């Protein structure tokens, strides 16, 4: 069983942050718990070569099911994801802004959306999923994904801009940036920055920073379960525990402890796996 992040080929790293493979196999008839999937700073193309998953929006109860390849944008709410007994998902997690450059589609069109990827990428996406099904191992899957992204890059719709250099700053640092600092880095006015930022990520800079910080706290707690919440708050640049608890409440509707009680019962935990910082 596997839950691991993989580094993409050098020639696609401008567009792909990482590949993530989650492979879990349960006994037939075994009851599989749901996964409470929290917001994270990701835009993703997810392939399901074996069993698909059913997604329930916790806020509305909306259900989406039976999609072999899914495109989803930036989420700011929890979804519950139910999987089958033979589950493998291969995720292409794009760098912020990369999907906009590759497709020309504003990221705001897919914010909080779990969509049939064939609508955006044509029937070729089905062929890639079939190749993943027939792959002889995880390394073969990674090469299939690299080749697919290379084909996308050849048909790129939008050029890179200085604002695309802002996203690695936000993802790679725990310091907070003001809107003015980000605008300066991008050589834009603050209004231009906010417009182009949302065009590329689907959300405004402040919300994106909050999601990054929340995701850091979530993964740090998974990596070090015995670490107390005050220390996690300080490590992730929260002003205090109350600010961290507010983000958990806003993004999950639960307290940190209550959400991690659910996380501790997630499907991958049945195999001693958890969402940590993988490399």
Q: Is the pLDDT of residue 192 over 50?
A: yes
Secondary structure (3-state) at 5: strand
Total number of domains constituting the chain: 1
Percent pLDDT > 70 in the chain is 99
Residue 213 lies in a domain: no
* Beta-carbon count within 10 A of 150 CB: 13
Cα–Cα distance measured from residue 125 to residue 102, given in angstroms and rounded to the nearest whole number: 15
Cα–Cα distance measured from residue 124 to residue 121, given in angstroms and rounded to the nearest whole number: 7
Instruction: Write the CATH number for 64.
Output: 2.60.120.10
| Helix-strand-coil split of the chain, %, nearest 5 | 45, 20, 35
Residue 177 lies in a domain: no
Residue 270 lies in a domain: no
Residue 51 lies in a domain: yes
- Comparing C-alpha atoms, which of 210, 257, 262 is closest to residue 229? 257
Do residues 83 and 43 make contact, with C-beta atoms less than 8 angstroms apart?
A: no
In terms of C-beta density within 10 A (0-12 exposed, 13-18 middle, 19 or more buried), how is residue 28 classed?
exposed
Q: Where does the pLDDT of residue 175 fall: very low under 50, low under 70, confident under 90, or very high at 90 and above?
A: confident
Q: What is the pLDDT of residue 278?
A: 52
Sign of CA dihedral 176, 178, 184, 189: positive
Q: What is the pLDDT of residue 101?
A: 97
- Comparing C-alpha atoms, which of 44, 100, 18, 73 is closest to residue 203? 73
Per-residue pLDDT tens over the stretch 234-251: 999 999 999 999 999 999
Residue 231 lies in a domain: no
In terms of C-beta density within 10 A (0-12 exposed, 13-18 middle, 19 or more buried), how is residue 61 classed?
exposed
Residue 246 lies in a domain: no
- Residue 253 has φ and ψ, to the nearest 5°, of 70, 10
Structural domain span for residue 122: 2-154
**Tokens 């050589």, residue located:** 187
Q: What is the pLDDT of residue 279?
A: 47
Residue 174 lies in a domain: no
Per-residue pLDDT tens over the stretch 85-122: 999 999 999 999 999 999 999 999 999 999 999 999 98
Q: What is the pLDDT of residue 176?
A: 83
b/e map of 99-134 (b: 16 or more CB within 10 Å)? bbbbbebbbbebbbebbebbebbeeebeebbebbee
Residue 198 lies in a domain: no
Cα–Cα distance measured from residue 271 to residue 81, given in angstroms and rounded to the nearest whole number: 17
When the pLDDT of each residue in the chain is averaged and rounded to a whole number, the result is 95
């Amino acid at each position: 069983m596997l839950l691991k992040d993989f580094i993409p080929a050098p020639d696609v790293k401008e567009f792909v942050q990482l590949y993530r493979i989650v492979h879990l196999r349960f006994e037939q008839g075994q009851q599989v718990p749901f996964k409470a999937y929290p917001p994270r700073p990701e835009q993703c193309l997810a392939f399901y070569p074996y069993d698909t998953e059913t997604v329930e929006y916790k806020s509305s109860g909306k259900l989406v099911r039976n999609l072999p390849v899914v495109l989803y944008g930036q989420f700011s709410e929890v979804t519950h994801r139910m999987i089958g007994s033979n589950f493998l998902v291969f995720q292409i997690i794009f760098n912020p802004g990369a999907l906009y450059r590759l497709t020309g589609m504003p990221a705001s069109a897919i914010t909080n959306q779990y969509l049939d990827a064939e609508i955006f990428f044509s029937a070729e996406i089905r062929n890639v999923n079939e190749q993943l099904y027939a792959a002889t191992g995880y390394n073969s899957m990674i090469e299939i994904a690299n080749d697919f992204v290379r084909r996308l890059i050849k048909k790129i719709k939008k050029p890179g801009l200085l604002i695309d250099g802002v996203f690695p700053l936000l993802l790679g640092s725990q310091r907070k940036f003001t809107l003015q600092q980000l605008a300066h880095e991008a050589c834009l006015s603050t209004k231009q920055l906010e417009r182009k930022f949302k065009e590329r990520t689907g959300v405004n800079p402040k919300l994106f920073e909050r999601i990054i910080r929340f995701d850091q706290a979530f993964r740090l707690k998974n990596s070090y379960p015995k670490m107390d919440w005050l220390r996690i708050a300080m490590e992730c640049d929260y002003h205090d525990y109350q600010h961290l608890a507010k983000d958990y409440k806003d993004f999950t509707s639960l307290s940190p402890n209550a959400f991690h009680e659910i996380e501790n019962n997630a499907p991958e935990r049945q195999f001693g796996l958890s969402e940590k910082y993988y490399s």
